[in-house]
A and B are shown apart, each in its own frame.
Chain A
């Protein structure tokens, strides 16, 4: 690689990163700006918007709902993901292609299609819309991400470790628990954190399936229409971005530890 060409690409990539981060950088600026209108010039420092946010009862309810949904959906998606990842990396069975295709389909399907079709079925089956129905939907869309992360973890396992455990008298289950599970644990934690982040941020499915229960994204969406709520939403957004960054950094940390533990070379990235 030509040095000059390389630095040209580097400058381009840095500008591109600036474009990617531009909206996120503005968030904290307006969250602490002492003005009800989101515009320059800035009007001085305030923490009022954070206080207003903390005192808002609907927001608290939305946060609780979102946390409950995200925890449930990430645990369910990861558990289901473990089965799929283990089966697809360990066994070569007939119909594997179509089966995995169906499980991974939500990754490319527009979310509105998932939301609309689930809504129709749930209403036809007489299931009332609630937090529970959002959990069902979020589990479905988090599952492919969990499978993708866990497949990497499972595929790097050395089969002879498992066989050694059988030779030493372990049963199938105890070999899984004592040998395989510890090796893929970083992958599991990473899948949990990733699914949690996705669920916490998901809007369309919650919008269709939550009934009259607020979640954080549907609450934010409902407030975007009211100019006087916007500074508070900026404060909320700042906290959410901070939380996502912490969760993603943890997920990346565990993913790398998993890579190191099974002795692969790191190729990087979640996907």
Chain B
């Protein structure tokens, strides 16, 4: 038994070695390197390899960093709430209303916009919301307004809307998968025991769908925090988020240790919040669907 097991381990590890090696070289080593850099000193064109906590002190003492991090967290939280709330009925429709043989087609239709030119899509929201944009010129043409509405673009609201649009399928798919796993006889049981349709949803469907909702929240929240394009294009550079700060330190200012400390700090905050969120939802995750 032990030999069989070790050969299986050996065979498995031999087979997975190439992608594993690639992930170690291109992901694990780089991540550990920026972790190390965040403790080094910046010597203008070189990196001074002396241990220091100065980068972290500078990062957290900087009010700009704290403002931008708070803004990024708030934007990501709003995007997550909007995206998941808007996605849930769609996932529910896909799972409970659409006929099984048509499900693949619906999912395909929902995922298509997600895979098509991210930059152009984000820019088009600027075209839709802008000063001379589709909404303003449309409203002017039909005579509803005389002056273009200025509150549509270059604010947090428009960033939230654009990001919600970008990450929609990310939220729909995990919720859909969780809903698909629900044993339909449980819902019938709830109804047979005299629960109303709404109460059955609240006490049976929703708790069983929670693993999908939790996955959707994390899968939207984490990449949104690090989005670079939307704050740049839709925020007009006036509403930077963490990614803009990292980019500026790494490329424009070229202080790699400080940039690394900012990146690691932001990642640590996101990791802590994600773990906290998982912990708060632990009773739903223990449920075996």
Contact = CB atoms under 8 A, between A and B. Distances in A.
Interface stretch (A51-59, A102-110, A179-187): A102-110
Interface string A65-87: 00000000000000111011011
Nearest to B135: A40
B30 A117 contact: yes
Given A27-B124, A93-B13, A201 B137 contact: no
B260 A120 contact: yes
Nearest to B34: A117
Contact of A241 (B116, B243, B251): B116
Contact of B28 (A19, A83, A102, A108): A102
A39 B222 contact: no
Contacts of B250: 116, 119-120, 208
A38 interface: yes
A108 B93 contact: no
A170 interface: no
Nearest to A104: B23
Contacts of B134: 26, 39-40
A143 interface: yes
B260 to A, nearest CB: 7
Contacts of A87: 12-13, 15-16
B269 interface: no
Nearest to B223: A110
Contacts of B18: 79-80, 83
B77 interface: no
Interface in B202-230: 218-219, 222-223, 225-229
B107 interface: yes
A143 B12 contact: no
Interface string A90-107: 111111100100110110
B280 interface: no
B165 A224 contact: no
Given A208-B251, A233-B120, A237-B120, A20 B15 contact: no
Contacts of B133: 38-39
Contacts of B43: none
Interface stretch (B51-59, B62-70, B96-104, B151-159): B96-104
Given A99-B20, A102-B27, A110-B223, A240 B12 contact: no
Given A84-B19, A110-B225, A120 B37 contact: yes
Interface in A202-216: 203-204, 207-208
A103 B260 CA distance: 22
Given A203-B229, A221-B229, A269-B176, 16 more contacts: A9-B96, A12-B90, A13-B94, A16-B89, A38-B133, A79-B18, A87-B16, A93-B9, A93-B10, A99-B20, A102-B24, A102-B27, A112-B246, A113-B263, A136-B26, A140-B22
